[in-house]
Copies of this chain bind each other. A is one copy, B any other.
Amino acid sequence: MPYSLKDIPFFSALDDQALKRLERISYFKTYNAGELVFYEGDMPTKLYILVDGVLRLYKTDSKGHEIYIHQFTPTSMVGELANFEQIPFPASARFITKGAVLKIEFKDMEEDFFKNPEISMQIIKSLTRKVKILSNVIHHEMILTSEAKVAKLIDENAEIFEKIKNNQIAQIINVSAETLSRTLTKLKHNKIISIDDKYVITILDRDALKKLYIDL
């Protein structure tokens, strides 16, 4: 296994003694694309540090649809809320690529973690990031219309259309493939964007595009 605790920026502040203790209560685990790391509703026993790959966080609705929340890339702490609060995971996590996590027996580590000011700072950063992510999810899903979501995505990350299929993009912004298709057609028709045969999007009228999702 080529992974090492030393390579995790998160623990750079731990002294050798603490690192030894951490080594004893943690291990690396690799995953293949598609494998689940934890499931919504499960009680947590481990804290996760994503060290390799892309890990998708999602919820499942009553009809069995996945609602995309976020995709993490290394190095990220995952599952801290459930661990800190001893509550079931509020979402599921599945690897999109192959990857690896460090699994930590959190309870055994709690003291070392919260006593160490450097680690506390890291935790604060991680939690702050989560609040920001969730706050964005709320804005995205409760405030923006489908058209606004598409407009925002194009404005902020038009290149994604060259990289992945509309299919997958629709999943990421939580709209149906049909709605995405119809919205793109509408934007083209309104001369706000154009799309070539290689899925390269050209923004013809950025002001109009922004107006579709800014303010509200």
Chain A residues with a Cβ under 8 A of chain B: 59-62, 67, 69, 80-81, 84-85, 87, 90-91, 114-115, 117, 120-121, 123-124, 127-128, 130-132, 134-139, 141-143, 145, 148, 215-216
Q: List 19 A-B contacts (CB under 8 A).
A: A61-B216, A62-B216, A67-B143, A69-B138, A81-B131, A81-B135, A84-B124, A85-B128, A85-B132, A90-B139, A117-B120, A120-B120, A127-B128, A127-B130, A130-B131, A131-B134, A134-B137, A137-B138, A138-B138
Contacting A142 at CB < 8 Å: which of B59, B87, B139? B59
Q: Evaluate contact between B141 and A141: CB separation under 8 angstroms.
A: yes
Minimal Cβ-Cβ distance residue in B for A119: B120
For the complex, what is the distance from the CA of A185 to the CA of B128, rounded to whole Å? 42
For the complex, what is the distance from the CA of A91 to the CA of B139, rounded to whole Å? 9
Main secondary structure of the interface of A (DSSP, over half): helix
Copies of this chain, whole number: 2
> Shortest beta-carbon distance, A95 to chain B, in Å?
21
For the complex, what is the distance from the CA of A216 to the CA of B60, rounded to whole Å? 8
In the assembled complex, which residues on chain B have CB atoms less than 8 Å from the CB atom of A130?
127, 131
Q: Evaluate contact between A81 and B143: CB separation under 8 angstroms.
A: no
For the complex, what is the distance from the CA of A123 to the CA of B124, rounded to whole Å? 7
Minimal Cβ-Cβ distance residue in B for A144: B62
